């Protein structure tokens, strides 16, 4: 369910990030901000802003202008704290965030009072310091929408698309660079998490109020995190035990009858020990069928989810953390009259049921050498047990389709970091071990006259045990002016597929102090799980044909980005354009074109092609005080060879546009957000409407394909903040747009033409919701 949250001292925490964020990587960047009197009533011109550096060291110093604003370059030495002072006011220090280029809003109290600094900065989402193309969704961004779970946390972001997998289960999936979420490495506190059989529903396994921030890294990242992550990495930073509010309560309810309850409680026992408890419960018990097709628009579902971690800081370089978590979830979808306890329930009405139990445990320790913050040693260990049972109505002559699975996973990483002479040359090296044990069963109850117990077992059961020891090294060069380069290499021995070599390279070059060019190249690998990766197809009449000689998926990813920071109407703005090309040497191709009655899962055939090309341009600006604007356009070209014919991947739109407007009044008392998403046409691979093979004729090219129409979605939310309470009201899909007939042949769910998996648009139309957040600092 969860990976361990970061617990290392700053030097080691930075070392674990997929892209080095050492102070010397800050070349060409600067801290910007403004200083006000306490309460933000008036600016403070002439306030002195300087870096906190060791005795005898010197660094940049500046002062605020007539409007109270300042720009201060990063120093050559490692430093993450500013000293801010003004005549008649008490000087104090500010910790500068390391994940982005900060814009700080600082308030100083008069000298007669205790010194206090309040930082309410809104840093740019795109990092100026990171070597790779890194974008951050901050905790403030997460409050712009309901964000009940991870799937909803991307609604105000242009880089990641979230779509509904099918019209029965309610599962959500993400896409990065035009590829399914399985090709991006999902990490929690920079540790791989929610892998394998958890993929179909994993976006619902992490509650939104638990999240501190989300980092989205496009292209290949660090080899430290393993050989997966072909298209990029999505890293979720959980709230820290020693930095989280003492109490956060969140309640949410929508007009479908679904409610969410969340609690985050932290305890600081003393300077060394702290603890955080994360709790989540959601429930939908209301049967809703707004489109009148006789099927539930969303499944009945209940989830209980909890996680607790204890953190220890010795004060002399040793840090340790232990965390445990548990999740239980049940789902029931299908026709309104379906009752799973009824006699012969799955033949009388179409229905689906899923039950999931998941347990995790993590331990993490690190040691940083006293007086040598650049040298550290860390050990990370985590384990997961994931178990689920699911049943789908299928065909009346065979009975329901049963898909059950169990996964045990163990991971361990030993990492050492140091420098060669000085921090211009930094290296990381370590050892890792991955253990994955998979047990899957997919059966329909169909028995053939030639069947024996052996043939039935071979057809219905899939077992795989992976043992993968590995070693890796990564070197970082930074000239402290305008160039940072990271070269990484890892070698793993897979007990099923032999030696695997993963090279990766990232480069950042500052053309000017406000212009950064980034390039990346690397290889990625993953072992596919054919059923879990295509679980949405279980909600259709298609039968699974799975080849017996499946190989790992391997691909090369090349790309880069150009980031320009500039001033618009006197305020900071950012423009980013990036392009990435992912080319597969082998891929598990899910062919829904060749035969309308099957989903054919096989390796990419010799000479065949499979690729994904992504181009995105985005601008972020604050044209007026309190008003934030994000606008983006994305072009995708994702194609694979299906039975000798190169065709676009089903359900992937080639064009997408995005606009987000956010406004905050003085002191954030009122906040309003509007998000508009426009989707272009996307190819479909429907089953024929009557089951008589009259749909797409394979061999006719794209001219024989059906395409979903263009459409737009509008979401809006208003928030009123009080001292400890926030109340929010929102609406999703403001125009009430719906996909016509999201379930094909809904009136004949046991026919050969039934398909609930070809979903391209909203199923239940407009959704209104309300909620509140209560916190104690």
Give 472's DSSP letter.
Answer: E
Which of the pair, 411 or 147, is modelled with greater confidence? 411
Does residue 363 fall inside a structural domain?
A: yes
Q: Domain boundary residue among 80, 100, 119? A: 119
Does residue 471 fall inside a structural domain?
A: yes
Q: How confident is the model at residue 10 (pLDDT cuts 50, 70, 90)?
A: very low
Residue 138: per-residue pLDDT: 85
Structure tokens at 756: 């609930």
Cα–Cα distance measured from residue 185 to residue 224, given in angstroms and rounded to the nearest whole number: 12
Q: What is the DSSP string of 282-343?
A: EEE-----TT-SSB-SS-EEEEEEEEEEEEEE-SSSEEEEEEEEEEEEEEEEEBTT--TTST
Separation in Å, CA 413 to CA 431, 433, 608: 6, 7, 37
**Which of 81-85, 204-208, 499-503 holds the top average pLDDT?**
499-503
Find, among 208, 281, 203, the residue nearest to 239 by Cα: 208
Q: Are residues 59 and 190 in the same domain?
A: no
223 and 502 Cβ atoms separated by less than 8 Å: yes
Residue 16: per-residue pLDDT: 35
Burial of 35 (0-12, 13-18, 19+ CB in 10 A): buried
Q: Is the model's pLDDT at 536 over the cut of 60? A: yes
| Lowest-confidence segment of 188-202, 625-639, 654-668, 687-701 by average pLDDT | 687-701
Residue 31: per-residue pLDDT: 81
Residue 120: per-residue pLDDT: 45
Range 307-329 average pLDDT? 93
Residue 20: per-residue pLDDT: 35
Residue 455: per-residue pLDDT: 87
Structure tokens at 551: 């190989």
Range 146-169 average pLDDT? 88
**Which of 31-40, 167-176, 252-261, 752-761 holds the top average pLDDT?**
252-261
Percent of the chain surpassing pLDDT 90: 63
Residue 211 CA, distance from chain mean position: 11
Structure tokens at 770: 């309300």
Range 24-41 average pLDDT? 62
- CATH number assigned to the domain comprising residue 101: 2.60.40.1120
74-77 contacts, C-beta under 8 A, 24 or more apart: 74/23, 74/26, 74/27, 74/29, 74/30, 74/31, 74/129, 75/23, 75/51, 76/24, 76/480, 77/23, 77/53
Helix segments in 331-389, DSSP class H: 345-348
Does residue 645 fall inside a structural domain?
A: yes
Torsion sign over Cα 204, 232, 4, 241 = negative
221-238, pLDDT tens digit by residue?
899 999 999 999 999 989
Separation in Å, CA 590 to CA 171, 174, 196, 356, 441: 18, 17, 17, 25, 19
Residue 131 CA, distance from chain mean position: 19
Find where tokens 């939310």 sit: 717
Residue 688: per-residue pLDDT: 56
Q: Are residues 109 and 144 in the same domain?
A: no
Residue 39: per-residue pLDDT: 53
Structure tokens at 709: 């129409």
Q: Is the model's pLDDT at 543 over the cut of 70? A: yes
pTM over 0.85: no
Give 8's DSSP letter.
Answer: S
Q: Are residues 651 and 737 in the same domain?
A: yes
Give 458's DSSP letter.
Answer: H
Does residue 2 fall inside a structural domain?
A: no
Question: For the chain, what is the total number of helices (H) and then of strands (E)?
Answer: 4, 44
Q: Domain boundary residue among 86, 119, 152? A: 119
Which of the pair, 693 or 563, is modelled with greater confidence? 563
Cα–Cα distance measured from residue 163 to residue 185, given in angstroms and rounded to the nearest whole number: 18
Q: How confident is the model at residue 21 (pLDDT cuts 50, 70, 90)?
A: very low
Residue 36: per-residue pLDDT: 79
Cα–Cα distance measured from residue 59 to residue 148, given in angstroms and rounded to the nearest whole number: 44
Range 185-199 average pLDDT? 90
Q: How confident is the model at residue 127 (pLDDT cuts 50, 70, 90)?
A: confident
499 and 529 Cβ atoms separated by less than 8 Å: no
Mode of pairing for the β-strands spanning 103-108 and 30-37: parallel
Helix (H) or strand (E) holding 711, with range, is: strand 711-721
Residue 28: per-residue pLDDT: 43
Residue 558: per-residue pLDDT: 97
Find, among 21, 14, 8, 18, the residue nearest to 378 by Cα: 8
φ, ψ at 62 (rounded to 5°): -150, 175
368 and 9 Cβ atoms separated by less than 8 Å: yes
CA-based Rg of the chain, rounded to a whole angstrom?
Answer: 26
Q: Are residues 17 and 42 in the same domain?
A: no
605-662, pLDDT tens digit by residue?
999 999 999 999 999 999 998 999 999 999 999 999 998 899 999 999 999 999 999 9
Q: Are residues 64 and 178 in the same domain?
A: no
Separation in Å, CA 264 to CA 250, 276, 493, 600: 9, 7, 41, 45
Cα–Cα distance measured from residue 115 to residue 84, given in angstroms and rounded to the nearest whole number: 11
Helix (H) or strand (E) holding 456, with range, is: helix 453-460
Q: Are residues 91 and 174 in the same domain?
A: no
427-481, pLDDT tens digit by residue?
999 999 999 999 999 998 788 888 888 888 888 999 999 999 999 999 999 998 8
Does residue 1 fall inside a structural domain?
A: no
Does residue 326 fall inside a structural domain?
A: yes
Q: Are residues 88 and 144 in the same domain?
A: no
Q: Are residues 180 and 112 in the same domain?
A: no
Q: How confident is the model at residue 690 (pLDDT cuts 50, 70, 90)?
A: very low
Q: Are residues 53 and 202 in the same domain?
A: no
Q: Is the model's pLDDT at 692 over the cut of 80? A: no
Q: Are residues 38 and 158 in the same domain?
A: no
309 and 322 Cβ atoms separated by less than 8 Å: yes
Structure tokens at 375: 């040298």
Q: Is the model's pLDDT at 585 over the cut of 50? A: yes
Find, among 551, 548, 534, the residue nearest to 587 by Cα: 551
Does residue 5 fall inside a structural domain?
A: no
Structure tokens at 1: 């369910």
Range 540-562 average pLDDT? 94
Range of the domain at 107: 30-119
Q: How confident is the model at residue 98 (pLDDT cuts 50, 70, 90)?
A: low
333 and 351 Cβ atoms separated by less than 8 Å: yes
Percent of the chain surpassing pLDDT 70: 89
Find, among 281, 252, 254, 256, the residue nearest to 772 by Cα: 252
Structure tokens at 610: 């499979």
Residue 613: per-residue pLDDT: 98
Cα–Cα distance measured from residue 119 to residue 96, given in angstroms and rounded to the nearest whole number: 9
Q: Are residues 204 and 158 in the same domain?
A: yes
Q: Domain boundary residue among 74, 102, 119? A: 119
Residue 497: per-residue pLDDT: 97
DSSP reduced 3-state for 510: strand
DSSP reduced 3-state for 562: strand
Does residue 3 fall inside a structural domain?
A: no
Q: How confident is the model at residue 537 (pLDDT cuts 50, 70, 90)?
A: very high
Q: Are residues 55 and 177 in the same domain?
A: no
Q: Is the model's pLDDT at 118 over the cut of 60? A: no
Diameter of the chain measured on Cα atoms = 93
Cα–Cα distance measured from residue 229 to residue 580, given in angstroms and rounded to the nearest whole number: 14
Mode of pairing for the β-strands spanning 553-568 and 543-546: unpaired
Find, among 163, 154, 150, 153, the residue nearest to 280 by Cα: 150
Task: Round to the nearest angstrom and report the end-to-end CA distance of the chain.
Answer: 27
Q: How confident is the model at residue 17 (pLDDT cuts 50, 70, 90)?
A: very low
Residue 122: per-residue pLDDT: 57
39-84, pLDDT tens digit by residue?
545 677 778 888 887 655 667 888 887 677 888 887 766 677 788 8
Cα–Cα distance measured from residue 349 to residue 337, given in angstroms and rounded to the nearest whole number: 7
Residue 595: per-residue pLDDT: 84
Q: Is the model's pLDDT at 1 over the cut of 60? A: no
398-408, pLDDT tens digit by residue?
889 999 999 99
Mode of pairing for the β-strands spanning 191-192 and 118-119: unpaired
Residue 64: per-residue pLDDT: 83
Residue 56: per-residue pLDDT: 55
Report the domain count for the chain. Answer: 2
Q: Is the model's pLDDT at 24 over the cut of 50? A: no
- CATH number assigned to the domain comprising residue 595: 2.40.170.20
């Amino acid at each position: 369910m969860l990976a361990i949250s970061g617990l290392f001292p700053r030097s080691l925490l930075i070392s674990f990030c997929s892209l080095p964020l050492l102070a010397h990587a800050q070349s060409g960047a600067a801290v910007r901000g403004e200083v006000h009197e306490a309460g933000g009533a008036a600016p403070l011109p002439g306030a002195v802003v300087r870096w906190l550096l060791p005795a005898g060291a010197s660094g940049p110093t500046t002062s605020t202008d007539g409007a109270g604003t300042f720009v201060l370059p990063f120093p050559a030495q490692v430093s993450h704290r500013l000293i801010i002072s003004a005549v008649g006011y008490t000087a104090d220090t500010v910790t500068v965030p390391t994940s982005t280029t900060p814009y700080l809003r600082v308030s100083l109290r008069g000298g007669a009072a205790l010194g206090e600094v309040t930082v309410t900065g809104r840093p740019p989402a795109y990092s100026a310091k990171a070597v790779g193309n890194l974008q951050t969704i901050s905790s403030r961004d997460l409050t712009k929408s309901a964000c009940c779970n991870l799937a909803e946390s991307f609604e105000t972001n242009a880089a990641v698309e979230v779509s509904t997998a099918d019209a029965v289960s309610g599962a959500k999936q993400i896409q990065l660079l035009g590829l399914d979420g399985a090709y991006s490495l999902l990490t929690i506190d920079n540790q791989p998490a929610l892998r394998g059989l958890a993929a179909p529903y994993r976006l619902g396994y992490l509650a939104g109020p638990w999240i501190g921030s989300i980092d989205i890294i496009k292209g290949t990242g660090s080899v430290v995190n393993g050989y997966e992550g072909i298209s990029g990495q999505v890293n979720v930073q959980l709230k820290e035990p020693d930095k989280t509010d003492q109490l956060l309560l969140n309640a949410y309810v929508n007009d479908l009858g679904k409610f969410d309850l969340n609690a985050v409680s932290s305890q600081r026992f003393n300077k060394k020990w702290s603890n955080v408890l994360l709790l989540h419960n959601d429930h939908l018990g209301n049967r809703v069928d707004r489109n009148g097709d006789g099927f539930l628009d969303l499944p009945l579902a209940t989830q209980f989810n909890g996680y607790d971690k204890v953190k220890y800081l010795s004060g002399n370089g040793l840090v340790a953390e232990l965390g445990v978590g548990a999740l239980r979830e049940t789902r029931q979808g299908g026709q309104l009259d379906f009752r799973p306890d009824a006699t012969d329930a799955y033949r009388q009405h179409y229905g689906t049921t899923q039950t999931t139990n998941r347990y995790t445990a993590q331990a993490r320790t690190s040691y940083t050498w006293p007086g040598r913050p650049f040298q550290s040693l860390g050990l990370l260990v985590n384990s997961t047990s994931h178990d689920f049972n699911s049943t789908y109505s299928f065909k009346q002559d065979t009975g329901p389709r049963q898909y059950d699975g169990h996964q045990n996973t163990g991971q361990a990483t030993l990492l050492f970091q140091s420098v060669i002479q000085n921090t211009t040359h930094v290296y990381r090296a370590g050892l890792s071990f991955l253990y994955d044990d998979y047990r899957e069963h997919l059966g329909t109850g169909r028995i053939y006259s030639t069947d024996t117990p052996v043939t039935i077992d071979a057809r219905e059961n899939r077992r795989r045990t992976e043992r993968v020891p590995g070693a890796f090294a990564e070197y970082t060069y930074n000239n402290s002016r305008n160039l940072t380069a990271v070269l990484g290499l890892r070698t793993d021995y897979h007990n099923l597929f032999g030696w695997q070599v993963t090279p990766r390279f990232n480069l950042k070059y500052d053309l000017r102090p406000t212009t950064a060019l980034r390039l990346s190249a690397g290889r990625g690998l993953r072992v596919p799980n054919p059923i879990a990766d295509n679980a949405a197809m279980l909600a259709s009449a298609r039968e699974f044909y799975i080849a017996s000689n499946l190989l790992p998926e391997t691909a090369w990813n090349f790309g880069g980005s150009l980031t320009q920071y500039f001033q618009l109407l006197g305020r900071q703005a950012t423009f980013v354009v990036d392009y990435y090309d992912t080319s597969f040497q082998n891929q598990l191709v899910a062919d829904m074109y060749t035969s309308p009655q099957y989903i054919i899962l096989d390796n990419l055939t010799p000479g065949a092609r499979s690729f994904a090309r992504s181009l995105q341009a985005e601008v972020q600006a604050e044209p007026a005080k309190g008003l934030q604007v994000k606008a983006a356009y994305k072009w995708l070209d994702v194609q694979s060879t299906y039975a000798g014919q190169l065709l676009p991947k089903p359900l992937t739109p080639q064009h997408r546009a995005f606009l987000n407007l956010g406004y905050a009044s003085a002191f954030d008392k009122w906040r309003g957000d509007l998000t508009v998403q426009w989707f272009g046409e996307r190819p479909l691979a429907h089953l024929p409407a009557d089951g008589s093979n009259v749909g797409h004729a394979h061999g006719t090219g794209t001219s024989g394909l059906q395409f979903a129409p263009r459409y737009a979605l509008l979401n809006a939310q208003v928030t009123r903040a009080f001292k400890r309470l926030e109340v929010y009201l929102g609406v999703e899909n403001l125009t009430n747009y719906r996909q016509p007939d999201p379930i094909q042949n809904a009136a004949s769910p046991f026919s050969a033409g039934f398909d609930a998996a070809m979903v391209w648009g909203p199923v239940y139309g407009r959704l209104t919701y309300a909620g509140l957040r209560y916190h104690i600092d």
